[in-house]
Structure 1
Amino acid sequence: MTSKAQAPRNVIFNGDCIDVMQAFDSGTVDFILTDPPYVTRYRDRQGRKVANDDNGRWLRPAFREMHRVLKDGGFAVSFYGWNKVDLFMEAWKAAGFRVVGHLVFRKRYASSARFLRYEHEQAYLLAKGNPARPARPIPDVLDFPYSGNRLHPTQKPVEALTPLIEAFTQPGELVLDPFSGSGSTLAAAQQLGRDWTGIELDNGHYHTASKRLAARQHHRAAA
């Protein structure tokens, strides 16, 4: 009798997150923190794009798999594009998530300016089942230091992600990022002594994240 594969730990996969997550056991991930494409055809000042940002076909199946692999009573935090919130909300609810909180990340700079100066990012806190309330809930407004976007066109700062991982996981638990980009979520988890698993479709970003995590691990081991 063969045992089923558990969710892998401390590894990054280069592939489609829907396909990769299908190989994970149900309920084997403790926390999900992810920054998926915003479905806005984003292009930064250097002309860099984000894979699959031109369509929303992946939204429902990806979040359905995330809900399946997350443990019962677990949390997920998903960034989203404010002007596509209807698509994201439909996908989250169709997957079975409950919306239990909203997070705003305040910037000291404007990422762009049109009708307003856009000086924040946003994410929803999603729950599977009925999780216990944290002993010390964190604020729903957090600082968002400038990452420089050197490694990825929408690179998230590790400093903005560590409070979330610290609040919703314990050391040794597994943090999953199915849209891991340059690996900021994984770096934050590693820094806090959590296990991590990343999935990245873009081969270039996959290699960037792999090198980044290996370098951080080497630095920690040498310290």
Structure 2
Amino acid sequence: MTIQTRTPRNTIFQGDCIDTMRRFERGSVDFILTDPPYITHYRGRDGRTVANDDNAGWLRPAFNQMHRILKPGGFCVSFYGWNKVDLFMDAWRSAGFRVVGHLVFRKQYASSSRFLRYEHEQAYLLAKGEVTPPANPIPDVIDFAYTGNRLHPTQKPVPALLPLIECFTRPGDLVLDPFCGSGSTLEAAQQLGREWLGVELDELHHATASRRLQSLHEAA
């Protein structure tokens, strides 16, 4: 039996996000913004890979836990791999999420090129139960600057995440990223005066995210 504890804030856990989230209180998170593995056997040009990108065994249980700890009426934004959308959609709906929107992140470069030049990322907006639309909805197309992937092989740009957090949360709300990588979601939350909580499986990426958020705290 997993003993649940008060959901912490402004902390990054190193380990499996499913086991970690099981310890958090039900309905204790205001908003989830996450970039999970796309299940595409990703390998960057420099040879870097992403943990658990070679299997879908984590997908359903991870989103089950996200739904459990998200507050009723809360939103989740999840990036996903377009060629595995059937697996992601099944996991989201099985967990209890409703799909209420789709987001396209427009790049000025192609991340790869085969049948098409892939010049965008994508995410779905998910809702738990009955939700109240935001007072000032943001566009569903957001510019996506190139990060250089210096901190993580699939590093997301903070400026693309800021409008999402600003739209779907209020100052002091708790933002969760259970696949936090180098901490881009957490940095965006910190910049906007939100509380944040991250989980990262990879030890090196956990260390990177921890240093990044510590530097922000010291600069504040």
TM (norm. structure 2) is 0.98
Task: Name the aligned partner's letter for residue 17 of structure 2.
Answer: C
**Structure 1 residue 81: deviation in Å?**
0.2
Counterpart in the other structure of 1:17: 17
**Structure 1 residue 5: deviation in Å?**
2.2
**1:140 paired to 2:140:** yes
Q: How does 1:143-222 map to 2 (within 5 A)?
A: 143-220=143-220
Q: Distance in 1 between matches of 2:180 and 2:80?
A: 14
Aligned partner of residue 217 in structure 1, secondary structure: helix
Deviation string 1:44-72 (CA, Å, 9 cap, x unpaired) is 00000000000000000000000000000
Root mean square deviation, CA, Å: 0.9
**Structure 1 residue 107: deviation in Å?**
0.3
Aligned partner of residue 13 in structure 1, secondary structure: strand
Q: Distance in 1 between matches of 2:137 and 2:71?
A: 20
Change (3 A) 1:116 1:195: same
Counterpart in the other structure of 1:112: 112
Counterpart in the other structure of 2:125: 125
Structure 2, unaligned runs of 5 or more: none
Q: Which runs of 4+ in 1 moved over 6 A?
A: none
Task: Report if the CA contact (8 A) 2:4-2:23 is conserved.
Answer: no
**1:54 paired to 2:54:** yes
Aligned partner of residue 25 in structure 1, secondary structure: coil
Structure 1, unaligned runs of 5 or more: none
Q: Distance in 2 between matches of 1:24 and 1:216?
A: 25
Q: Distance in 2 between matches of 1:219 and 1:143?
A: 27
**Structure 1 residue 6: deviation in Å?**
2.0
Q: Distance in 2 between matches of 1:205 and 1:56?
A: 21
Q: Distance in 1 between matches of 2:198 and 2:104?
A: 24
**Structure 1 residue 4: deviation in Å?**
5.9
Task: Name the aligned partner's letter for residue 124 of structure 2.
Answer: Y
Instruction: Indicate the percent of aligned positions where both proteins have the same amino acid.
Output: 72
Q: How does 1:38-117 map to 2 (within 5 A)?
A: 38-117=38-117
**Structure 1 residue 84: deviation in Å?**
0.3
Q: Distance in 2 between matches of 1:192 and 1:217?
A: 13
**Structure 1 residue 23: deviation in Å?**
0.5
Task: Report if the CA contact (8 A) 2:31-2:74 is conserved.
Answer: yes
Task: Name the aligned partner's letter for residue 145 of structure 1.
Answer: A
